[in-house]
Structure 1
Amino acid sequence: MDQALASLSIVMPLDGRQSETARAIQRGALRYLAARGLVGVPEFSLASGRRADIAAIDGRGEVWVVEIKSSVTDFRTDRKWADYRLHCDRLFFAVGPDFPVEILPEDAGVMVADQFGAGLVREAPRHPMPGVTRRAVTLRLARTAAGRLMGLMDPDGVRGIEL
């Protein structure tokens, strides 16, 4: 491997739409997912046009969606997370340490996160996607992740490619 490439450190730019609290929860949730063997794509656009806070996939192809809620108001005013179930095998909420987890739906997993990591409060029930949906979501995840990496390495190289 080329020595310059081996020492290359690529950092994603911050998404300006998120609060500092949401970014901390996102970082901790991504670390938790990695510790469980999943790789995650933040701000993932679903085929429905919705945007999942994190979509992640494990080595067997199981897909998780993690919806970040930075406050009770954020949870109560945003109900589009129910649509995410069609695009994943498991749906989780990731919230901060002070969030009252008892208000979250029982049929979704819950993790409590901060900038350093996360802990699982409740496992998400598994609701397997149909094969055709799994293929489409997996392909979209792969193209999104690869496209973002290409865009960081060569922003002009991905112009015109739909990610």
Structure 2
Amino acid sequence: MTLELKPGQELARGVCRHLASLDFVSIEEFTPKTGLRVDVMALGPKGEFWIIECKSSRNDFQSDKKWQNYLEWCDRYFWAVNSDFMTELLPEETGIIIADAYYADIIRTGPENKLSAPRRKTLLHKFARQAAMRWHNARDPGLIHL
């Protein structure tokens, strides 16, 4: 059975593959806090957190009104877009990743804004729990988490 991916999901897959080559682990559709859901949250080998928002079109980007709320939840913020996207539209203070369903390349690294220690601890806890719950659900789809 082949799962049909939407354009944003294809970008996320390529991004996650590239991040793995940089020794990052990632979770798609991660919720750092109630009301916020990021496309990709990545945890690096030195404990750094990156958020990557995948935009499949100009309209998709322009309709995103909450991306600035994500900045306080990561050390670096990136947009992932395809090679046809007009990157001039993306804010200069953010990173850019060009991606497709199979690979990605970082073409601009945004500035580092280090998380506070308490926020990093909270994120690490949520990241670990969400990853573990997803693994349990994959191994035992009938398992109910309280």
Query: Percent identity, aligned pairs only?
Result: 36
- What is the match of residue 41 of structure 1? 27
CA RMSD of aligned residues (A): 1.6
Larger of the two Rg values belongs to structure: 1
- What is the match of residue 75 of structure 2? 89
Instruction: Name the aligned partner's letter for residue 75 of structure 1.
Output: F
Q: 45, 59, 64: which is aligned to 1:73?
A: 59
- What is the match of residue 5 of structure 1? none
Q: How does 1:5-154 map to 2 (within 5 A)?
A: 20-154=6-140
Q: 1:66 to 1:84 in 2, by over 3 A?
A: same
How far did residue 160 of structure 1 move? 3.1
- What is the match of residue 160 of structure 1? 145
Q: Which runs of 5+ in 2 are unaligned?
A: none
Instruction: Name the aligned partner's letter for residue 94 of structure 2.
Output: A
What TM-score results when the alignment is normalised by the length of structure 1? 0.84
How far did residue 119 of structure 1 move? 1.1
Structure 1 consecutive aligned stretches of length 4 or more whose deviation exceeds 2 Å: none
> How many matched pairs?
145
SS for the counterpart of 1:115 is coil
What TM-score results when the alignment is normalised by the length of structure 2? 0.93
